[in-house]
Structure 1
Amino acid sequence: MPTKSVQKDAMPSPGAKDVFSLAWPMTLKAIFLHGTVVIDGFLLSSLGEGPLAAMGLAAALGGIVLGVIFAFSHAMQIRTAQAFGGGDQIFLKSVLASGLAVSLSIGVIGVAAIHIWGGTLINALAPSVEIAQQAQTYLSIFTVVIIAEAVGQCIASFFNGCSRSKLPLYGYLLSVPVNITISIVLIHGLFGFPALGVAGAALGSAIAITLQTAFWSVLLLRTNGHLRHVVGWHRGTFVPTVKRHMHFALPIAATFVSATLATHVCSLIYANMSLNGFAAMTLIAPWNLLAGQVAMQWTQATGILVAQLLGKRTPEDVLDHFLSRAWMGAFVAAGIVSMIFLAMCLSLDWIYPNLEVETRAILFSFLPILMIIQFPRATNAICGNTLRAAGDTVYVMHIFIWTQWAFRVPATALFVLYFDFSAFWILSLFLWEEVLKFPAFHRRLWRGDWKRSDVAA
């Protein structure tokens, strides 16, 4: 017992306050992150369905590339936290350079693919020639957003991994007002500017995201400019260093890409539901995405701090002490999300007054699932982010991919296409997916191997 006491005095573990300090800026940033296309859609809604359809078609294609960039940026922040925790400047420089190289490569390849095949896809999918032309214009300008985000999201993840999560938030507080202002001016042709319609919305986003990335780049030079003068690479030379980064990042990126694809496949299956059920499933999706950020960002912040602690080779009892407190905080965050859904469901008549009574009734029936699922989802996410922080990325990937593609997607197809179950039971598949993940995640975490991981390897 005295030995443990000395260890805790010598190396105190962070607590719930530290997780909160890291998580709340990440939560707001995540909400802003999903807002770029939402803002464009809102501003274009006054022009009618045609411009909205053009923007939606172009954003769907550009969003595929952005989704891959965001997936790799999540791996970037964990790898950064490992390097930052260990205090190895060569390792930290290597992570930053490798992450930028990988992210920029994805952006360039994605933009090249859009220029080669984007026009053909849009012409095949667009309902009219006019919408196809507008979509191509939007997408060609949106490629600027892709390249800027390839750099910007990498830098933002680097800041998060270094426990500077407020810096990415400052970038969004700068870019969102700029995006709204410029888009309004260029869409409608105010103050003598030409009315560009769809192209104006794309230009507003491109200018705002470019400004945001430039702002983060300046902050990076000010906070970590010294890394330019650090000599050497973590794996001897640059190419092996990038390969090691890819080896770590690929399973994490594959997990996020798989989740996105599974969601899109299920959404296509939902189109075969009754109109009211399909509308309810469509409406609950953005609520799930935005409200869920409260608990998800808490668990991601926990993973970052675990990675930092492992980088410092923190004693096991200190790791256990920190994780137990972070776990309690995750349950509080899950409770907050449950209360958000309770308030939403009790306010349906006010939020959606023009919906049919049956659609509102289906949304209200979702309430038990929406309140219960937050708790297994939060504890599974704590496990997943902790295991990723320890480098156990392949195991986590397998849990997600198998529960999505061997359970949720085929079960959704059966429930909708064969059994014609109600929307309540179809939504419940998300809860059963979390139940399936639970033993696989917790058994692995309780085994304790993650506490002895050499994350610098």
Structure 2
Amino acid sequence: MTLKAIFLHGTVVIDGFLLSSLGEGALAAMGLAAALGGIVIGFIFAFSQAMQIRTAQAVGSNDPVFLKSVLASGLAVSLSIGVIGVGLIQLLGGILTEALAPTAEISDQAQTYLSIFCIVILGESIGQAIASFFNGCSRSKLPLYGYLLSVPLNIAFSVVLIHGLWGFPALGVAGAAIGSAIAITVQTGFWSVLLLRSYGHLRRVEGWRNGTFLPSFKRHVLFALPIAATFVSSNLAAHVCSLMYASMSLNGFAAMTLIAPWNMLTGQIAMQWTQATGILVAQLLGKDTPEDVLDRFLSRAWIGAFVAAGIVAVTFLAMSFSIDWLYPNLEVETRAILFGFLPILLIIQFPRATNAICGNTLRAAGDTVYVMHVFVWPQWAFRVPATALLIFYFDLSAFWILSLFLWEEFLKFPAFHRRMWKGDWKRIKVAE
């Protein structure tokens, strides 16, 4: 799970690393376009999380009609989101980039990147549904194979097309987008072939879970909405803040653009541990495991989460002292801002990991609405308005903008841990 997540979130890091040689303007254009396109991708990923759970239920029931219904409904939901998202980008993308970009040149580059990135969105709308289906069927290696194929392709095509190697035109920002589009297209095609080979027999299964396809589709949507809402809110808040970052100084915006994918990428070490903990807690609750056994398991999982958080912190420490080597073409001020982020990046890993343990455990016990509230309110009642206030009114530096993520974790801490210590989750009957 961790390896797959690192490959998944590594695409933006790769594009940022390759474009850093072109300067802050190219990074700003990519950051702005990625923020807009990432909103749609966030919706796709959110519903794919729900599809994993639904698929696992179908596999556990050993009902091929149920499994077929989940696959068809999940693909339909995901592809619908992709098509609607691309349509909105075509209608509004140009207006938003012109309004948010600091210069006309950056706006043009962002629009070009975004128009090509639509291919990535459509590919992900199909690919992520298939990958989630594989995960729910306990075949998690298959999605990993797809990333092992696509990431090297992304790097190779992006390098060639950004810099114009071997006779190809030097496309700059557009070259990075084309490299990502080619890689995602190949990856989605690869997964589609694997799906047909492994589960093509489902096409011959007669009937639908809820009588016909439409009721089955509606049932899938109703099941997915509460789970997806938490992930959608998180991604939407992050990208709304990213759009506001465009109003910062160019150096500050470039630094925030670079640190965001690094934070997402390295954070997967701890986040995937906590998600795996949630899966195991759900299994233990389903077996009516005694409370003392749950407590012992969770205490060990908590230790593992702190170890994972420590690994992430050490990774950021190494990255911060390697900034001059990683990004030699950036301005001195941009590199200084990146290095200044280090105290926040070291501290935040530990409250974030323990909050995630609580959130995934409560979600495994069916307490999904409470978890959603704990995530949503600190984002929209605190971080988003605070970001606007610090940027547009106080005009503070990037350090203070990034610190809002740390304060958000502190706000969630008592709400999560009070619920965990209360202990009602240990007495939940999951089957009921």
Pick one of 361, 369, 382 that aligns with 2:357.
382
Q: Tell me, what secondary structure is at the counterpart of 1:111?
A: helix
What percent of counterpart residues are identical? 76
Residue of structure 2 in register with 1:258 after alignment: 233
Equivalent residues in 2 for 1:190-201 (5 A)?
190-191=165-166, 198-201=173-176
Q: Which amino acid aligns with 1:92?
A: L
Residue of structure 1 in register with 2:288 after alignment: 315
Query: Is 2:211 the partner of 1:205?
Result: no
CA distance in 1, matches of 2:180, 2:256: 29
Equivalent residues in 2 for 1:223-234 (5 A)?
223-234=198-209
* Offset from partner CA, 1:319-352 (integer Å, 9 cap, x none): 5554444333222212222332344455567667
Q: Is the 8 A contact 1:78 1:389 kept in 2?
A: no
Deviates more, 1:87-96 or 1:415-424: 415-424
Pick one of 200, 210, 223 that aligns with 1:248.
223
Residues 199, 96 of structure 1: alpha-carbon distance in 2 compared, 3 angstrom cutoff = same
Residues 422, 125 of structure 1: alpha-carbon distance in 2 compared, 3 angstrom cutoff = closer
CA distance in 2, matches of 1:130, 1:278: 16
Pick one of 20, 24, 49 that aligns with 1:74.
49
CA distance in 2, matches of 1:366, 1:447: 36
Tell me, which stretches of 5 or more residues in structure 2 are unaligned? none
Shift of 1:308: 5.1
Residue of structure 2 in register with 1:142 after alignment: 117
Residue of structure 2 in register with 1:292 after alignment: 267
Query: Is 2:356 the partner of 1:402?
Result: no
Query: Is 2:10 the partner of 1:35?
Result: yes
Shift of 1:381: 0.9
CA distance in 2, matches of 1:152, 1:416: 37
CA distance in 2, matches of 1:399, 1:47: 41
Shift of 1:278: 7.1
Residue of structure 2 in register with 1:448 after alignment: 424
Query: Is 2:142 the partner of 1:170?
Result: no
Residue of structure 2 in register with 1:370 after alignment: 345
Residue of structure 2 in register with 1:179 after alignment: 154
Shift of 1:169: 1.6
Deviates more, 1:353-362 or 1:246-255: 353-362
- CA-based RMSD of the aligned residues comes to 3.9
Q: Tell me, what secondary structure is at the counterpart of 1:398?
A: helix
CA distance in 1, matches of 2:251, 2:425: 48
Residue of structure 1 in register with 2:74 after alignment: 99
Q: Is the 8 A contact 1:296 1:381 kept in 2?
A: yes
Residues 216, 289 of structure 1: alpha-carbon distance in 2 compared, 3 angstrom cutoff = same
Q: Which amino acid aligns with 1:328?
A: I
CA distance in 1, matches of 2:171, 2:192: 30
Residues 79, 332 of structure 1: alpha-carbon distance in 2 compared, 3 angstrom cutoff = farther
Q: Is the 8 A contact 2:35 2:239 kept in 1?
A: no
* Offset from partner CA, 1:168-191 (integer Å, 9 cap, x none): 121111011222223344455555
Q: Which amino acid aligns with 1:315?
A: D
Pick one of 220, 223, 243 that aligns with 2:195.
220
Q: Which amino acid aligns with 2:14?
A: I
Q: Is the 8 A contact 1:81 1:304 kept in 2?
A: no
Shift of 1:42: 4.4
* Offset from partner CA, 1:31-86 (integer Å, 9 cap, x none): 22233344345445566777666555544432221121122222222333344445
CA distance in 1, matches of 2:130, 2:302: 28
Residues 40, 237 of structure 1: alpha-carbon distance in 2 compared, 3 angstrom cutoff = same
* Offset from partner CA, 1:188-228 (integer Å, 9 cap, x none): 55555555555544333222211101111222233333443
Deviates more, 1:245-254 or 1:191-200: 191-200
Tell me, which stretches of 5 or more residues in structure 1 are unaligned? 1-25
Shift of 1:277: 7.3
* Offset from partner CA, 1:148-171 (integer Å, 9 cap, x none): 110111111222233332221211
Residue of structure 2 in register with 1:112 after alignment: 87
CA distance in 1, matches of 2:392, 2:102: 26
Q: Is the 8 A contact 2:32 2:242 kept in 1?
A: no
Q: Is the 8 A contact 2:164 2:171 kept in 1?
A: yes
CA distance in 1, matches of 2:73, 2:123: 17
CA distance in 2, matches of 1:431, 1:137: 34
Q: Tell me, what secondary structure is at the counterpart of 2:138?
A: coil
Give aligned pairs, total: 428
